[in-house]
Amino acid sequence: MIVRSLGLVEYAPTFEAMRYLTDTRGPYTQDELWLCEHPPVFTQGLAGKAEHLLAPGEIPVVATNRGGQVTYHGPGQVVAYPLLDLKRRGYFVKDLVYRIEEAVIRALRHFGVTGHRVSGAPGIYVKLNDPFAHSILLQKASMPKKAGEKIGVTEIGVRPNFEGLGKIAALGIKVSRHCSYHGVALNVAMDLGPFLRINPCGYAGLPTIDLASLGVNATPAMVAVVLSDKLQATLG
């Protein structure tokens, strides 16, 4: 696939460029992977609810057509957008999500951090008390939904159990005519304060973490190279 390093770019025009490429691509259009950072912005997914935006303040809010709820993008976070023809590659949306998550797990492993999946909550998480431990994460039972609680992607009466975990990578995908865009955001060395202004991905109180907070000395540029390599491997 073609890999493009875009640098620091505004979110809205990047979103429109992804959508345009997807809407106009043909059966022989080459797949692409875009890597970038965004200035501070909250993005609201299709399932987004206004109550999850607690205090956006001066940070703009952009409605977008990816799946999921609200998240934050800002400098010091590596964002990767795979623009893929899934039909040509021969896998479905769930496969795509798994492959992107696997690439993030492998990228974190490169820096000594163990990433984990949580059932029912796309993205990658780390154990806050020992992010470098190699033990697997035993999937804990889902927690009953509290009275009146809005829990994010689903309203099924339970919520994933995030006890002892912090979210380090958020994921949101859009598929149109068997082609995907949007992608994953991996927190490297950023101001985490804006995450306190939202319920990240629709989950109140979900801690958000970055590599710098874990003691990993890596720049976004370094992480972007590693993540790009891992994504090309897992998506191939």
User: Choosing from 36, 201, 211, 231, which is the catalytic residue?
Assistant: 201
Q: What is the pTM of this model?
A: 0.90
Q: CA-CA-CA-CA torsion for 201, 204, 206, 210, nearest 10 degrees? A: 60
CATH code for the domain of 62: 3.30.930.10
Query: Residues 101-125, buried b or exposed e (16+ Cβ, 10 A)?
Result: bbbbbbbbeebebbbbbbebbbbbb
Which tens digit of pLDDT belongs to each residue from 168-208? 999 999 999 999 999 999 999 999 999 999 888 888 888 99
pLDDT of res. 59 = 96
Residue 45 clears pLDDT 90, i.e. is over it: no
Paired tokens of 102: 């696997």
Taking the chain, what is the end-to-end CA distance rounded to the nearest angstrom? 9
Q: Judge whether 201 counts as a catalytic residue.
A: yes
Give the total number of structural domains in the chain.
Answer: 1
Which tens digit of pLDDT belongs to each residue from 11-31? 999 999 999 999 999 999 999
pLDDT of res. 69 = 87
pLDDT of res. 224 = 98
Domain that holds residue 201: 2-235
What's the whole-number mean pLDDT along residues 36-42? 97
Determine which helix (DSSP H) or strand (DSSP E) holds 175, and give its type and residue range. Answer: strand 165-176
Determine which helix (DSSP H) or strand (DSSP E) holds 109, and give its type and residue range. Answer: helix 93-110
% residues pLDDT > 90 (the chain): 72
